[in-house]
């Protein structure tokens, strides 16, 4: 999203970067849940591997990682296409992540025993986080250094005003 609320110009490099960031960070809710419950933190990755034809009942970490990359990139491209037409705020993107969860978990995943067996709430939270992280990452990448009023780019710490601005203010209401 750009400063004035207009649509972004998003390239494939932006999609790949946002997919990598979101695919990595959005698993935090289910990872925390797994740690608290004493479950494997890789359970959902293995379960994703069952989406490969012929592997429905054979979860695999390597297959799951490959499927995860493909699915994350696909949904990131969908969100990026939407952001290229109309700005997506982080909260709206989290809602889009829940819509993605409805498809991934409710329509497709329910047909696969390993996916159906995953704890539901953490998986939905992962999807909401995915949407939010994609939107935030695309917004950060869309902000050229000239808009940062002399600040360094990319921001170097959480104390950098750029992080505070991105976290606290919607694009249309920013005063910078």
DSSP per position, 46-89 = HHHGGGSTT-TT---HHHHHHHHHHHHHHHHHHHHHHHHHS---
* Mean pLDDT score across all residues of the chain: 84
How does pLDDT run across 93-117, given as a tens digit for each residue? 999 999 999 999 999 999 999 999 9
Q: What is the pLDDT of residue 2?
A: 41
Pick from 20, 18, 25: nearest CA to 127: 25
Q: Are 143 and 3 in contact (CB under 8 A)?
A: yes
How does pLDDT run across 21-55, given as a tens digit for each residue? 999 999 999 999 999 999 999 999 999 999 999 99
């Amino acid at each position: 999203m750009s400063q004035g609320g207009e649509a972004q110009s998003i390239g494939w490099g932006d999609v790949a970067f946002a997919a990598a960031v979101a695919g990595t960070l959005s698993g935090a809710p289910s990872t925390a849940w797994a740690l608290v419950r004493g479950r494997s933190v890789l359970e959902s990755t293995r379960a994703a591997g069952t989406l490969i034809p012929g592997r429905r009942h054979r979860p695999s970490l390597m297959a799951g990682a490959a499927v995860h990359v493909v699915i994350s990139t696909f949904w990131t491209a969908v969100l990026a296409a939407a952001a290229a037409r109309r700005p997506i705020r982080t909260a709206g993107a989290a809602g889009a992540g829940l819509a993605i969860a409805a498809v991934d978990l409710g329509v497709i995943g329910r047909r696969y025993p390993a996916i159906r067996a995953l704890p539901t709430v953490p998986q939905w939270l992962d999807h909401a986080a995915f949407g939010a992280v994609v939107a935030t990452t695309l917004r950060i990448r869309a902000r050229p250094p000239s808009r940062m009023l002399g600040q360094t780019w990319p921001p170097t710490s959480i104390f950098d005003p750029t992080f505070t601005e991105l976290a606290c203010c919607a694009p249309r209401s920013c005063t910078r």
